[in-house]
């Protein structure tokens, strides 16, 4: 088997295995008496930090030509802070919890990791002639394994255990990233040279019509989708389920991403990347509509089929689409800007979502989510048509 494939798959597997422990923040707040509105406000604060941190660390990685080093630096600060969150919830300064300081600090260092790791893997796959989907599917598999394990363990130990477990489970990823050299740094002194911000030319991204329209589309697809996931524990309890088993849902979703990722190379041969992105929006909209009518945990489990198909398509096609749109010197910046858009969407979604759930109820909330996702689809298709037919701009080809 290709040694490069084994190395990259190991990195992806270990990263998402450890990251599965971080899916229980809403559950932790819920168990500590936080209302949906309060949870939305705290998540919005975290997302605001992510908006700043994600493109910042992406630009730093591009400037110093080393995604690997930036990931390792941020891990050293972010991991210890995340493990302290349960303890910080119990420490107060007047009416305010220490958690309001610890969580944003942790987010500043930890939340850029998915975008940075994606950028790292996409670049390596391009250099080594590997299909990104074949590598990335191991992340979905490992996330499934870890999530299912947590769904069994946490109801017995308490959700706090996932925070302590994260510090241990992420260690293999740290070791692998430490061991493997950067793919984008070779013997060429010119490529090793640190770039100035002026040399990097960030303006090139903002002059790209398809990059800008994708960012807007991403905002509209991430806004309802991240909010839908954030408030899933409330839907689970509404239909008689136990929110501590949220890992069962996230694990099943990750597992069902595997087929889309596995067939991504074949799908890319048959369809342009924008078509695959549009299909992801369709699946997400149907998923939210089904949640609006769910009345049992069985329904929620079955709906993960659509969540998995949509997630796999979005993960595989968006990473490759951004890579095709960005200049080589700005690949990390482009990926992390996408992460920042997700954080911006999470701010709006969490703030508005909490109030909507209080005002209209959890099921009507998912009807609204479905409508916003349908709007995202219509907008994206229109921008593609306008770009091709009116502006005479060709769709980008992958590189």
Q: Are 111 and 104 in contact (CB under 8 A)?
A: no
Q: Is the pLDDT of residue 184 over 60?
A: no
Q: Is the pLDDT of residue 182 over 80?
A: no
What residues have CB less than 8 Å from 76, skipping those under 6 apart? none
Whole-number percent of the chain with pLDDT over 90: 29
DSSP secondary structure letters along 241-306: --GGGHHHHHHHHHHHHHHHHHTHHHHHHHS-HHHHHHHHHHHHHHHHHHHHT--SHHHHHHHHHH
Give me the residue spans of the domains in the chain: 3-179+203-390
Whole-number pLDDT of residue 137: 93
Q: Is the pLDDT of residue 195 over 80?
A: no
Q: Are 30 and 192 in contact (CB under 8 A)?
A: no
Average pLDDT, stretch 202-225? 86
pTM, 2 dp? 0.76
Banded model confidence at residue 281, pLDDT cuts 50, 70, 90: very high
What residues have CB less than 8 Å from 226, skipping those under 6 apart? 342, 345, 346, 349, 350
Whole-number pLDDT of residue 7: 92
Whole-number pLDDT of residue 190: 45
The partner residues of 92 in beta bridges, in order of sequence, read 97
CATH topology of domain 3-179+203-390: Growth Hormone; Chain: A; (1.20.1250)
Banded model confidence at residue 332, pLDDT cuts 50, 70, 90: confident
Summarize pLDDT for 31-77 with one digit per residue, the tens: 888 887 788 788 778 878 888 898 889 888 888 878 889 999 999 99
First to last CA, the chain: 24
Q: Is the pLDDT of residue 185 over 50?
A: no
Mean pLDDT taken over the chain? 85
Summarize pLDDT for 217-256 with one digit per residue, the tens: 999 898 877 777 778 888 888 888 776 677 778 778 888 8
Summarize pLDDT for 138-177 with one digit per residue, the tens: 999 998 899 888 888 888 888 889 999 999 999 999 999 9
Measured between alpha carbons, how far is residue 222 from residues 65, 305, 341 in Å?
29, 19, 8
Cα gap 366→370, rounded to integer Å: 6
Whole-number percent of the chain with pLDDT over 70: 93
């Amino acid at each position: 088997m290709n040694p490069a494939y084994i190395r990259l798959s190991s990195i992806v597997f270990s990263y998402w295995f450890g990251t599965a422990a971080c899916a229980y923040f809403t559950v932790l707040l819920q168990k500590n008496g936080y209302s949906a509105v309060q949870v939305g406000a705290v998540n919005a604060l975290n997302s605001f930090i992510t908006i700043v941190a994600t493109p910042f660390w992406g630009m730093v990685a591009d400037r110093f030509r080393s995604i690997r080093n930036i990931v390792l630096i941020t891990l050293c600060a972010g991991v210890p802070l995340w493990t302290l969150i349960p303890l910080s919830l119990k420490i107060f300064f007047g009416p305010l919890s220490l958690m309001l300081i610890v969580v944003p600090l942790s987010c500043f260092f930890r939340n850029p990791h998915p975008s940075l790791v994606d950028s790292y893997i996409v670049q390596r796959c391009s250099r080594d002639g590997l299909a990104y989907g074949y590598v990335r599917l191991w992340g979905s598999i490992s996330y499934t394994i870890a999530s299912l394990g947590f769904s069994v363990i946490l109801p017995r130990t308490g959700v706090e255990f996932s925070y302590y477990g994260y510090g241990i489970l992420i260690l293999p990823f740290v070791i692998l990233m430490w061991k493997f050299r950067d793919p984008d740094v070779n013997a060429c002194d010119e490529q090793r040279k640190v770039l100035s911000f002026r040399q990097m030319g960030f303006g090139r991204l903002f002059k790209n019509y398809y990059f800008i329209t994708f960012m807007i589309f991403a905002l509209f697809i991430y806004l309802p989708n991240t909010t839908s996931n954030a408030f899933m524990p409330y839907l689970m309890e509404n239909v008689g389920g136990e929110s501590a088993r949220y890992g069962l849902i996230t694990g099943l979703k990750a597992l069902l991403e595997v087929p889309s990722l596995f067939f991504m190379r074949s799908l890319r041969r048959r369809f342009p990347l924008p078509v695959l992105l549009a299909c992801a929006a369709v699946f997400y909209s149907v998923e939210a509509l089904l949640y609006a009518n769910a009345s049992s945990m069985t329904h929620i489990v079955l709906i993960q089929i659509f969540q998995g198909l949509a997630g796999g398509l979005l993960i595989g096609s968006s990473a490759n689409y951004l890579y095709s749109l960005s200049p080589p010197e700005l690949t990390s910046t482009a990926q992390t800007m996408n992460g920042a858009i997700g954080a911006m969407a999470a701010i709006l979604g969490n703030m508005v979502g909490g109030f909507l759930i209080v005002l209209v109820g959890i099921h009507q909330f998912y009807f609204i989510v479905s409508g916003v996702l349908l709007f995202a689809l219509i907008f994206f298709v229109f921008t593609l048509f306008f770009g091709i037919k009116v502006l005479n701009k060709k769709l980008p080809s992958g590189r």
